[in-house]
Structure 1
């Protein structure tokens, strides 16, 4: 049996593109970025990620848990306490997503400026 061919994101592999779609999602990037600092409870995550709805945060966390990037731990308390943390696989995304988030922070003024120039020159 030979060495498996390295996947190429430009191929038509549906599963590979689904993984890219997952990590390219803005809420996924923000959850990973927030959890890079350590374990957080649901309410802490929601406060940390300004503007995320409860529904979208729940949906994102479930998808990340299902894909093995986030671990959910429930403590038997009243009310139940739930904590989220990155799995070892999720931790592999810290560096690339931090780089992308920092790029956005450092260059968003340039992008906004370019957009405004483009929008004023359209007929």
Structure 2
């Protein structure tokens, strides 16, 4: 694995660091649980209402905000149906699907670390 050297004369936050980029895209409190639930759903697709129930503790406003940001970053895709009431589904994009193995690796690492406590 190629690692970039940390800058010695610059603030790391002023550089193009892949880890910082990843944390900016997925590192907020609710984004990982949202991605995880969508990834675990049948066909990796969930309706908005299902997500609202699964992600315990999130407000509707925050769920909408996170989903919009995940959509802007092309990790999820939104599909709206012309029904009454309107039905909206979210699914992992191809780009979002590439993130799942990394999340599984982090999950497995954390599980071992938690057992070591």
Q: Same fold (TM over 0.5)?
A: yes
Q: 2 CA distance for matches of 1:7 and 1:82?
A: 40
Q: Tell me the equivalent position of 2:30.
A: 27
Unaligned runs of 5+ in 1: 1-5, 111-123
Pair 1:65-2:81 in alignment: no
For residue 92 of structure 2, what is the aligned residue in structure 1? Answer: 86
Shift of 1:9: 9.0
Aligned residue number for residue 54 of structure 1 = 60
Q: How many residues align?
A: 105
- Residue aligning to 2:80: 74
Deviates more, 1:20-29 or 1:82-91: 20-29
From 26, 35, 39, the equivalent of 1:36 is 39
- With structure 2 as the length reference, what TM-score do the two structures score? 0.73
Partner of 2:9: none
The SS at the match of 1:44 is helix
CA shift digits 1:21-72 (9 cap, x unpaired): 2222231111111111220001101111111111111111000001111000
Larger Cα Rg: Structure 1 or Structure 2? 1
Change (3 A) 1:9 1:30: farther
Pairwise CA distance, 1:19: 3.8
| CA shift for structure 1 position 75 | 0.3
Moved over 6 A (4+): none
Q: Distance in 2 between matches of 1:60 and 1:54?
A: 10
